[in-house]
Structure 1
Amino acid sequence: MSNQLLGIVVIAAFGVLWIAVGLSVARRVRSTDDYLVGGRNVGVALGSATILATWVTGNTILAAPESGYTFGVLGVLGYAVGGGVAVLAFAPLARRLRTLLPAGRTVGDFFRLRYDRKNYGLFLVMLIIWDLGWLLTQGMGAGIILESVFGIDFHVGLVVTVAIVTTYVTIGGMVSVLSTDFMQTMLIMAVVFLFPAWVYISANPVDVYQGMAGLAEAKLSLSAADGLLFLAVIPLIYTGEVFMDNTFWQRAFALRPNVITRTFTLAGIGWVFVPIATGTLAWVAVGTGLELPGGPSSVAPEVVAAYTGRVGAVIFLVLIWAALASTMSALLNAVSGIFMNDVYNNFVRPQAGDRELLRVGRLLTIVAAVITIVIAWPRPLTLLTLLILLGVINAAYIPPIVMGIFFRKTNPNGVFWGVVIGTVAGLLVFGDGAFDLLWLRLEVVDLPAWLGGELQGAVVSFLISTVATVGWTLLRPREFDFRSMIDWTRSENAGIAEGKK
């Protein structure tokens, strides 16, 4: 059996399994709440599994090694610590959210009730851009891994993966996502720690270290300037990502209130070990001078293919495909949730009933999948670069979310202008004075060399947003009554009970 045929058979087998699971649980989806938040009764084990499955992404398997290849030891440490800290930091926000907004479905519900209409509209635009960008990274990851390991055309791998995931998400929504997440997490955790040991049996660690010392000594340094910058900035990017990501808000609303802190804590700690395990694969490529025809994003599959043979390549494909599928499914469900709950039900048809919303949600899941294929088709940037670019938007929303949840006097105007100015300035810094928008680069201004840089963009975005939000609030505090959120929850629950929703 050829490598290409073998890869297709493996993907088809797991695709049939995930779709079968989606079909088996679809009958439990009777309402919009079931489709978006899975019934709001998820416990610690399933909750931790679904957070891990969502957070162990194609980026974790592909971009963590890319960060190790680019920034060395500090790159791997930064990637691991940044993602774990972000999940741990979300725990107190999630606990507070369930108190203020127990009937919430999406992050959009929070912005609609907490801030004014202009902030709500701006946030929806930013969130949709961010979600589609994140879906782009997962689609690219699918194409890269199938091309690197099995020689399957990048575009074929992209389309097949998106089609399979879309099928089971469309059938059962969050219920399907939760059901497949547990299996995918067990598969990921069982396999992810196998590969470093397997690779290093063939690639002697001493030889790898000596090779790195000779070929790229700076990547071993714990004081390299670029590595330290990455270590300092990546937690900021990841924290903004988690705080803004609707998939985490959906899980906060889906969990039982008494297990929220424990669940996010366990998931955050567990996640740290995954990028450390996969990131060390990059050091083999650096230490041996391994060529990477697919670019830095392909370092992990190239190393696995070179040192574990055909069997290892198949197992690695299963690992990364499970990670891609779990994250893509959560994102598709999250994007469709934003469209159906926040755009359609609030702007297009406020009077829409539950059955109509379910139909729209399923249709919009398919639309989001098609858009994912279209934007990933040109393979615009590396996965790590895309992560940092999206981080410019994420970082600007950390102050509004934290202050909006915990402080009743946060001024909405400061939030709005802080995000707008912070994001624009951050994108200019990211692009060294230009708007570098994947397929289009618009030169705007000449920046001094010390100011421009990809990582610096997120820092600038965060600082401007923080100064504007905090400063405006101190100068012109705007009182907000958190009880209005609780009152909305009572109204929402009453409507559901009467069958009006």
Structure 2
Amino acid sequence: MDLAFSGWSGILILAVYGLIMLGVGVLTFLKNRNMHKSLDAYYLGGRGLGVMVLFFTFFATQYSGNTVIGYPPSAYRQGFEYLVSVPFFIMIIMAYLLFAPRLYTLGKKYKLVTPAQWFEKRYKSKAVTILASLLMLYGLGNYLLEQLVAIGQGVSGLTGGTIPYQLGVIFFVVIMLIYGWLGGMRSVAYTDTIQGIALLFGVFMLLIGSIIYFGGLPTSADYMQVFSPEKLGIPDAPGVMNWLSLLVLIGIGAAVYPHAIQRIFSAKSEKTLKRSFSRMAWMPFLTAGVVFIIGIIGINAFPDLSTAESEQLVGMMASTIASQNVIFYWAMTLLFGGVIAAIVSTADSILLTFSSIISNDLYGNYINPEASQRKKLLVGKLVGVVAVGILILVAWFPPATLYQIFVLKFELLIQISPGLILGLYWNRLHTKAVFTGMIAGTLVASLMTVFNLSLLGIASGLWGLLLNIVICVSGSLIMNVSAVEENEAKKVVAL
């Protein structure tokens, strides 16, 4: 028996995981037929997710294709400098703790379904709500594109190229649309739990196999010392500044993911939410730390790969390890099945939130306010299908590496954070200042990104955020908020 990942063995693995995800969608639909009549039930799982399910759905949101498939190649190319990827995820948890418990309480109080509804409730401004919604849709579309690229690369790597990249994308997108359409948030959360367990087990087995068959970190360090000494060094001053800027950019940006905020609203209780976060605090070391080590070991295992070739690193390492031992074969089977299931689950949760913003915040509020909840759901689903079709065309020939796609979305998504977070605590935050700050920050970040402008090694999104915050704070101090407006804001944010 050929234990290497190739041909029909890989296809069988993908078929089994696909059937499991479809089965979860069908069973969820049969047990919760009424969910398609309510935005709350469909998009938030009836606000009843428990600790374990909530933990794994947060886990799948933060650690998906960009982590397991995209991070080892980045570590391969950059060397030990990429150790910064571990604090990325620590910063995300810290950012959550700034606002998540308070936002959960207010979300439950006002029955909020989407983060855009918080902007509407807090600022009572059509302009602010629409702008925040568009920025969130941009971030979600970008993140969904990343997942589609990761699906194609994962399927191609798992089957040894038997299933082409493009066909892999289409196959799993169809499965995603079916089970997501049937089961909503509950389907996503349950599949997250299944794939999360498989993913954690598989990643650790990949690490163990890498150490056994490729020699581990000492061997890679010896190789780098001779052939790639630059990958052993620490970054220079501009490099450190770039590290720090990415920590802030990704820490805050990932915490305000719209689909992550919907998971905050989905928690059964505030206690459940906090217990889930306490478990998430260990994951940067157990997931990002492990895949970083795998990427470093890959430098010695597969030297001198080009950028395009290195994007297939995890598949190459897993295939080699699987060919050595039947135990590792099944472990790598579980890993890659879990990886692809994780990517699909993340993509589906992104699509779910994308659809909810379209159906509830744009269509339901401004296009057809008289629409029933069933009709809003239908509109959101149909627009989601169209959006996926457009993104498939883009993903057909991916425009950048996974990491480049990953960073790009934060430049604009992070511009919603002052209005979102400051508005939870500061009653005198002025609506016009929030809108102006968001617009200015978006323009600065966009122009700097488009024209590839760099200043002091700081990410363009952070320059936009800095201007955004300055305008929000100074504008609110200059433009007096009336007593009526301040009292209204106090009532809104009161717990």
What does the per-residue CA deviation read over 1:307-341, in whole Å, with 9 as the maximum and x for residues that have no partner?
44383653442131122022112111111111111
Partners of 2:40 and 2:113 within 8 A in 1: yes
Within a 5 Å distance, the mapping from 1:188-203 to structure 2 comes to 188-203=199-214
Q: Which residue in 1 is equivalent to 2:244? A: 232
Q: Which residue in 2 is equivalent to 1:110? A: 118
Q: Which residue in 2 is equivalent to 1:14? A: 17
Partners of 2:176 and 2:344 within 8 A in 1: yes
Q: Which residue in 1 is equivalent to 2:476? A: 473
Take 1:462 and 1:486, find their aligned partners in 2: how far apart are those partners? 23
Take 1:217 and 1:159, find their aligned partners in 2: how far apart are those partners? 41
The one of 82, 101, 110 equivalent to 2:88 is 82
Change (3 A) 1:210 1:240: same
Q: Which residue in 2 is equivalent to 1:26? A: 29
TM norm structure 2:
0.88
Within a 5 Å distance, the mapping from 1:245-260 to structure 2 comes to 245-255=257-267, 256-260=269-273
- Once the two structures are TM-superposed, the CA of residue 229 in structure 1 deviates from its matched residue by 3.6
Take 2:86 and 2:189, find their aligned partners in 1: how far apart are those partners? 24
- Once the two structures are TM-superposed, the CA of residue 86 in structure 1 deviates from its matched residue by 0.9
Aligned residues: 471
Change (3 A) 1:171 1:297: same
- Once the two structures are TM-superposed, the CA of residue 34 in structure 1 deviates from its matched residue by 0.9
State the secondary structure of the residue aligned to 1:193: helix
Q: Which residue in 1 is equivalent to 2:399? A: 380
Take 1:292 and 1:204, find their aligned partners in 2: how far apart are those partners? 22
State the secondary structure of the residue aligned to 1:467: helix
Amino acid at match of 1:263: S
**1 or 2 for the larger relative contact order (CA 8 Å, sep ≥6)?**
2
Q: Which residue in 1 is equivalent to 2:316? A: 302
Take 2:396 and 2:66, find their aligned partners in 1: how far apart are those partners? 17
Within a 5 Å distance, the mapping from 1:85-484 to structure 2 comes to 85-102=91-108, 103-115=111-123, 116-149=125-158, 150-151=160-161, 152-205=163-216, 206-225=218-237, 227-255=239-267, 256-288=269-301, 289-292=303-306, 294-309=308-323, 311=329, 314-431=333-450, 433=451, 451=455, 456-478=459-481, 479-480=485-486, 481-482=488-489
Greater Cα offset, 383-392 or 420-429: 420-429
Partners of 2:130 and 2:362 within 8 A in 1: no
State the secondary structure of the residue aligned to 1:350: coil
- Once the two structures are TM-superposed, the CA of residue 227 in structure 1 deviates from its matched residue by 4.8
Change (3 A) 1:430 1:354: closer
Change (3 A) 1:316 1:190: closer
- Once the two structures are TM-superposed, the CA of residue 135 in structure 1 deviates from its matched residue by 0.2
Greater Cα offset, 368-377 or 38-47: 368-377
Gaps of 5+ in 2: none
Partners of 2:114 and 2:357 within 8 A in 1: yes
- Once the two structures are TM-superposed, the CA of residue 302 in structure 1 deviates from its matched residue by 2.8
Partners of 2:120 and 2:126 within 8 A in 1: yes
Q: Which residue in 1 is equivalent to 2:45? A: 38
- Once the two structures are TM-superposed, the CA of residue 477 in structure 1 deviates from its matched residue by 4.5
Amino acid at match of 1:87: I
Q: Which residue in 2 is equivalent to 1:492? A: none
Take 1:122 and 1:295, find their aligned partners in 2: how far apart are those partners? 39
Partners of 2:55 and 2:276 within 8 A in 1: yes
Greater Cα offset, 282-291 or 132-141: 282-291
Change (3 A) 1:414 1:63: farther
Q: CA RMSD, aligned part only?
A: 2.5
Gaps of 5+ in 1: 435-446, 490-501
What does the per-residue CA deviation read over 1:91-138, in whole Å, with 9 as the maximum and x for residues that have no partner?
341211133231010111011122222111111111111111100000
